[in-house]
Homo-oligomer: A and B are copies of this chain.
Amino acid sequence: MKQRITLKKIAKEFDVSISTVSKALKDSPEIGEDLKERIKGYAAFYNYKPNSLALQLRNQKTLVIGVVVPEIVHHFFSTVIDGIEDFANKKGYNVMVCLSNESHAKEVQNISLLTNGSVDGLIVSLSRETMEMNSYEHFNRMLADGYPLVLFDRIIDSLECDKVIIDDVGGAYKAVDFLLNKGAKRIALLTTQDYITVGQLRKEGYERALRHHWVDIEDKIIFKIDDSKDLKEQIAKVFEMENRPDAILAVNEIYAAHALSIAHEKGINVPEELSIIGFTSGLISEFTNPPLSSVVQHGFLIGTQAAELLINRIETEKKGDFQTEVISPDLKLRQSTKN
């Protein structure tokens, strides 16, 4: 790296002190008009910019917020990041993105790295492994260090920090309620393994809606998909049972799309013989045939809310009195349901 121009160099050039240059560039009245103009001209010519690191060190703030997410090649997470970036930028902050790749070790490392002074606060969605292991020491450490933290989507209740979550229970409830109202009798649920909270919550909403309609909850039509195994094979089981369900709620878009594609292969008509609703996180639902009705999650909003909560904490330095923002998902009806 070619040495960038600094106050010191400008000072030497004009044979004045560093403070003089600093003040001249800030248009301080303490400095003579002509000297000021000459210094400014010189600085502009050499494209002088105050070194950000020096400022960060001096001001004890970086105007950077760290984001740690399980993955980025994922419509939901990238949408959230988009929202974070948008709000942060408007407030003069930059965003540093780190990926845990669903690994606990990587998450710990990322958080440790970011809380070494390079960010003012963190926005995190937990990795799968972390939730599986139930191991949150790294968060306690950063909180003890005084770093503000905002958790979103995949959160852990016991942590004392602001949170932004989707009303997953409500979203699933809405979907199931809708299906039942449209005449569905037997609704299968494609959900995740137990340790994924969002899966649990959506299951909760599913069950709540069933109870509300006095429909029995049947464990055998609740499928807990294991993401590490073959998805299609597991989902196909829904279609192989006697007394096949007439509707499916899938806790994500991929499961829903697979279900749709299997239905298609088996010549089952959607939505006439089978209704499908997924939780949307991407573009897939729009382009399947028929397009999938789904519960939309407002990722961008989640991002802006998380950023707002974090930046508030950073700027007010307020401790305690933590909030949990709940974003309500909406039902987007397309053609995989009888509307």
Contact = CB atoms under 8 A, between A and B. Distances in A.
A317 interface: yes
Number of copies of this kind of chain in the complex: 2
Interface string A104-119: 0000000011111110
A96 B94 CA distance: 8
26 contacts: A1-B61, A1-B317, A2-B145, A47-B145, A49-B112, A49-B115, A49-B117, A52-B117, A53-B117, A64-B96, A71-B82, A72-B82, A73-B75, A73-B82, A74-B78, A75-B75, A78-B78, A85-B97, A85-B99, A94-B114, A95-B96, A97-B97, A261-B287, A264-B289, A287-B287, A288-B289
Contact of A51 (B73, B99, B116): B116
Interface residues of A, number: 60
Interface of A: 1-4, 47, 49-54, 56-57, 60-62, 64, 71-75, 78-79, 81-82, 85, 94-99, 112-118, 120, 141, 144-147, 254, 257, 260-261, 264, 282-284, 286-289, 314, 317
A261 B284 contact: no
A64 B56 CA distance: 15
A319 to B, nearest CB: 9
Nearest to A317: B1
A145 B48 CA distance: 10
Contacts of A118: 52-53, 56, 64, 94
A237 B331 CA distance: 32
Given A72-B82, A72-B85, A82-B71, A51 B117 contact: yes
Contacts of A47: 141, 144-145
Contacts of A78: 72-74, 78
Contacts of A141: 47
Nearest to A142: B47
Nearest to A300: B73
A330 to B, nearest CB: 18
